[in-house]
Structure formats: structure tokens, C-alpha cells
Chain A
Amino acid sequence: MKSLTKFMDSFGAIILAVIWIAPLLFAFWAATHSTSDAVNLNLFSPWTLDNFRVAWNGAPWLKYFMNTFTLVTVILIGQFILTTLAGFAFAQLQFPGKDYVFILVLMQLFILPEVLIVENYAMVSRLGLFDTILGVGMPYMASAFGIFLMRQAFKGVPIELHEAARIEGCGLLGILWRVYVPLAKPTYLAYALVSVSTHWNNFLWPLIVTNSPETRPLTVGLSIFGAPENGVDISVISAATLMSVAPLLIAFLIFQRQFVQAFLRAGIK
């Protein structure tokens, strides 16, 4: 009886797992076969890398990769600096008005940047940042989620360390840099993984703010490449899709454990 339920469990779990990765498997199948063989699910048809060649030549992918890479780096650096400073102020300093400002910051959690696209677009244009990578990244830098996360991390630092550093003659920023930042390393790592995967995948906002291949990230490039008016077939689209998800997917498969831990840490705290 017990082994039967165990078998049923494994069975159900694996069926669901196979269903869950089926779209990826089919894309892999389509990308490595000629279009007609791919759609007929002709199992004995020859393998080919032609689709990847066609897809690679169809758009400036290298530029798109670099843009996405620059974008997530710019956002991450901005977020680290801003959320560290603000998180520290909220966690360790006493000053009038602090609680009200904190509530304001938390309000941003439900004022989704995604919903404010119209005014943010106007703002980015006004600042002269339209069609720049900085323009894509800036609205996400002062992340309320990040500020909250860093505040929690800094609150957990023992006050004795703070006092000791002060007696040693360390200034406030020195204490922040030498005591708090090193101790919050795991939180930074978790936040970095969540932030990078979010912004690597972001689409709507970059679609609005970018206008040229010089600034366009991978997601926007992929959507333009796959548009039906470009007349590319499903095998080539699959190849392009696999190419563009490969870096993050490979990174995920290698660092799977850390990745999942990071999501856990960032979500639960």
C-alpha cells in the first residue's frame, strides 16, 4: 500500500514535470529541424543547425545581449547604492518624520511602475533620457522592495559592532561600509539574483522607452524579430528564442540551488 502511493506520487510528479518542460523541449526540437520536419513531428528527420544560423543573421543579437547586460548592471548598481543608503537610514538612524517617509516608500509597492508607463514615459523624455539605457533603468533604482529588504538585513546587525566601530573612530558612512555592508552579503546576493532575472526578462517598459537597436534589450529585440510581418517561420523563431534564453537558462541550471535559495530569502523576509 505504502509503496503504491509512493509510486503514484512519483508518477504524478514526473508527468507534471514533463508537461512543464514540454514547451522548451518542443522549441528545442523545432530549432534543430527543418520547418516542415518540425511541424510534422517527423521523428527520424535529420538534425540541422541552419535555423540558428538564419536567426543569428536576422538581428543584431550581440548588440541586444550587450544592451540587456548593461541594463541589468546599471540597474543593479543603482539599486545597491540607493537601497543601501536608504535601508541604513531606516534601520539605524533616529530622526523626525522617519515613520511617515517609510510608509510613503511602502506605498510604492502597490503603485506598480508598470501601471505608470504614460507619465514615466513623459518624465523620461523630459529628462532627455528617451531611448537610452539609463532611461530604461532609472525608474527601478529606488526600489521599495529593495529598501525594505536592506532595512531588514541591517536591523539584524548587532549594535555592539556599530558601537565598537564608532569607538575606533569610524564615521557613519565608514561604519556602513565596513560593518553593515559586509554582514549583509547574503541579502545582496539574493537581491541581485532576483533583480537581474526580473530586469533581464522585463519587456513592456523597455519597449516603450527604447527606439533603436542601439539601446533595445533582448526581450524587445526578440519580440520584433518574431513578429509575423517579418515572415520568419516557427523553427527560426524557436532558434532565436533558445539563443536569447540560453545565458540565463544555463546560469540557472548551474547555480540552481543558490538561485532557489535566493528567491526564498528575498521572498520570505
Chain B
Amino acid sequence: MSAHVNLERRRQAIYGWLLLSPAAVLLTVFAFYPSIATLWSSLFSRNTRRNPTEFIGTENYADLFADPTFWLVVKNNLFYAGVTIPMSIGIALAMALWANSKISARGFVRTAYFTPTVLPMIAAANLWLFFYTPGLGVLDQIGSVFGLPSVNWLGQPETALWAIIIVTIWKEAGFFMIFYLAALQTIPEDLKEAADIEGTSRWTYTRRIVLPLLMPTTLFIAVNAMINSVKLIDHLFILTKGGPSDASKLILYYIWEMAFAFFDAPHAAAITILVIAVLGIVAAVQFLYLDKRTHYQ
């Protein structure tokens, strides 16, 4: 009897590992090994013609912390996240409330909101070029009707990052709307009926009932938006290339530039490690927070 159970157990173990192995190999090759290799190479000096690579400990990190460009990029990215996350969540919520209510032209409205989501960011950036180009762009054309001067939206430090942020919000809000729509559809109808009988105003109903029920969805979206604020940089390649004078440079673009334009792999590696560390902390906090929440439910 126990021999049979043992055999079955061993069979399952062998099968389990066999089935896992293809995914495990690829994950190791393209996620775990590169993470460790990145950490390792961040501790070495850059291989130049005169100086061969040597172990320098945390010097690359010290360089970064002393580099004003690095801090500017960090600041840009925090600002980028700080504006795009709440704005795209807020607009997504408004979109979902509208797309879920019984309005005319609901099909058109839903399609219009969601369409940017299916476009490549590169294509989206090309579309927005037509808005931002000084003199020729739509924004300037509209401005000139009101006698406003031409503005080089992408070419001046004050507006370049904002231009990037607006494209990002435009691209993301419709995607987040979908999750809110799904959540809204799970709210029972009788809550609304009860609120109507009580004579509750629509605003109170939304604020006291709908928004609290949407909290888990908001959390989920916020985490997604946070990850995207690191990931979404494709439009930089078309619109600003991080300029002018680094005003719109974001951290992932900086990594790319460091590695593939300046050929400085060790510093790129050090930034990568810092980004992974921050994302790891975010993931851990989220995990602990979610854990606690489910405890109380």
C-alpha cells in the first residue's frame, strides 16, 4: 500500500519537474540569471580602451548619486508617475461611469475611449506629433485663432514632459476603464434601488457606495499604472528623445541611452538594479497590504 503511494508520489514529482522545466529554463535564462548578472556587472568598472574591467564595489552607485542628470531623471519619473497615475485613474473612472450609464451613443463612446489602447505607442506618438509641431500643429492652429503665440510644446523644458504625460494618459485611461466597467457590473442593482427609495442623491450614492466598492479595483489599477510609469517610454523615441536638456527623460529611456548610446553598461546595470529594488519594494508592500485586507474581509 505505502509502496504504491510512494511510487505515485515519485511519479508526480518527476512529471511536475519535467513539465516545469521548459518554462523554468527560459525564466532562468531571461529573468533570474540576467538579474543576478546585472547586479554583478554593476560592481565592475567600464571596459575602456585604456582601462580593463575591474571590481570597484559600489562606485558606480556612488557615481549615479553624485550625477545631477540621474536625479533629474528620477525626479522626472516621479513627476510622470505622480501625474499620470491619478489622472488616468480619475479619467478611467469617469469613462467607466459614463460608459456604464444609460446614455445615448454608448457604443460609440466606449469604442472611442478604448481605441487608443490597441494602438502601438509609437503610432500614438506619430499621431500626437501633428498636435504638438510648432507652427503647423493643431494646438498652434487653435491657439492662433485666439491670437495666442506659437508654442514649441516638445522643444522647451517647461512643456516637454507635460506633452509626454498627456499622450500617456490618453493611451492608458481607456485600458483602465475596462477594469472599472467590469467592477461596476458586479455591483448589485438593488443597492441603487434602495438608494433611490431613500431619496439619496446620485453624488452621495456614488461617493458612499460605488467608490468604496471599487476600492480593490482601484488598487489593482494603481499597481498596474505604477508599473506602466516605468515601462511606458516608447513615445519618447518619437516625440522628444528625452530632451530638451533632459527635461523629459525617464528612467527606462536613461537605461537604454546609457547602455546603447553611451555604451556604459556598468552604470546602466546600476540603474537597473535600483529600479528592480524599488519595484520589489512596491510588490512587497502591495503583497503585505493585500494580505492584511483579505484578513479583515
Contacts and interface: CB of A to CB of B under 8 A. Distances in A.
Interface of A: 5-6, 9-10, 12-14, 16-18, 20-21, 23-24, 26-27, 30, 39-41, 81-83, 85-86, 88-90, 93-96, 98, 101, 104-105, 108-123, 138-139, 141-142, 144, 147, 172, 197, 200-204, 207-208, 218-219, 222-223, 226, 234, 237-238, 240-241, 244-245, 248-249, 252-253, 256, 259-260, 263-264, 267-268
Contacts of B138: 26, 41
A93 B103 CA distance: 50
Interface stretch (B65-73, B81-89, B122-130): B122-130
B32 interface: yes
A89 B130 contact: no
A98 B16 contact: yes
Contacts of A27: 126-127, 130
Given A20-B115, A113-B31, A120-B34, A101 B233 contact: no
A13 B109 contact: yes
Contacts of B109: 13-14, 16-17
Contact of A115 (B133, B174, B275): B275
Contact of B255 (A16, A17, A118, A138): A118
Contacts of A108: 27, 31
B240 interface: no
Given A95-B17, A119-B37, 10 more contacts: A12-B94, A86-B19, A89-B19, A90-B20, A95-B9, A113-B31, A116-B272, A119-B41, A223-B122, A234-B129
Given A204-B233, A226-B238, A237-B126, A83 B30 contact: no
Interface string B205-240: 000000000000000100000010011011001100
B178 A260 contact: yes
B185 to A, nearest CB: 9
Main secondary structure of the interface of A (DSSP, over half): helix
B105 interface: yes
Nearest to B136: A39
B22 A85 contact: yes
B119 interface: yes
Interface of B: 9, 12-13, 15-17, 19-20, 22-27, 29-35, 37-38, 41, 91, 94-95, 98-99, 101-105, 108-116, 118-124, 126-131, 133, 136, 138, 141, 170, 174-175, 178-179, 181-182, 202, 220, 227, 230-231, 233-234, 237-238, 252, 255-256, 259-260, 265, 268-269, 272, 275-276, 279-280, 282-283
A268 B179 contact: yes
B295 to A, nearest CB: 20
Nearest to A142: B26
Contacts of B108: 14, 17
B230 A114 contact: yes
**A-B pairs with lowest CB-CB distance, top 8:** A119-B34, A142-B26, A17-B112, A201-B120, A95-B16, A13-B98, A95-B13, A86-B23
B20 A123 contact: no
Main secondary structure of the interface of B (DSSP, over half): helix
A94 B120 contact: no
Contacts of B279: 110-112, 115
A234 B104 CA distance: 35
B275 A10 contact: no
Nearest to A171: B15
Nearest to A139: B30
Contacts of A9: 98, 101, 103
B98 A12 contact: yes
Contacts of B114: 256, 260
Contacts of A95: 9, 12-13, 15-17
Contacts of A252: 115, 118
25 contacts: A17-B105, A18-B112, A20-B112, A26-B131, A85-B22, A90-B20, A94-B12, A94-B16, A95-B9, A96-B13, A104-B32, A115-B255, A115-B275, A116-B34, A139-B31, A142-B26, A147-B23, A204-B256, A222-B123, A222-B126, A238-B127, A238-B130, A249-B119, A260-B114, A267-B220
A203 B29 CA distance: 21
Contact of B19 (A88, A122, A253): A88
B122 to A, nearest CB: 5
B122 A115 contact: no
B267 to A, nearest CB: 10
A241 B126 contact: yes
